[in-house]
Amino acid sequence: MPAMIAEKSTGWRVLSVLVRTLLWLLAAVLAALALGAFASLNPAAPTWMRTLGALEGVLEGRLFGGADVAGAGVPGAYPRGLTEALLSALAVFLAARPAARATPTPR
């Protein structure tokens, strides 16, 4: 019986590490897209940043099926950048949370 508990514990630990890794990757991607959205507002931004903005626009068009047109239901670059930055911060918060432990740690 204790071996079964250890196997479950190991499985949950592996799943926890996998979920945390995916959350960190999601945070990095969302942060890069937010950077691109804000860079698309500035014509003097470096080309690589504006490329991120163009990539973000293409991904948005694929996901939501709309173009960046006022009145089309798709927000502009500034609200998108804020939304992506907030979602990135949420992903970092969730990834950095300490894992719940089944047994208390000794002091």
pLDDT tens digits for range 72-92: 445 677 888 898 899 999 999
Contacts of 9 (CB under 8 A, 6+ apart): 102
pLDDT at 71 over 50: no
Q: What average pLDDT score do residues 61-79 get? A: 63
Give me the pLDDT at residue 41, please: 86
Inter-residue contact 3 to 20 (CB < 8 Å): no
Dihedral sign, CA of 80, 81, 83, 87? Answer: positive
Task: Pick the more confident residue, 63 or 83.
Answer: 83
How far is it, in rounded angstroms, from Cα 19 to Cα 6?
A: 20
Dihedral sign, CA of 38, 42, 45, 48? Answer: positive
Length of the chain: 107
Burial of 1 by CB count in 10 Å (0-12 exposed, 13-18 middle, 19+ buried)?
A: exposed
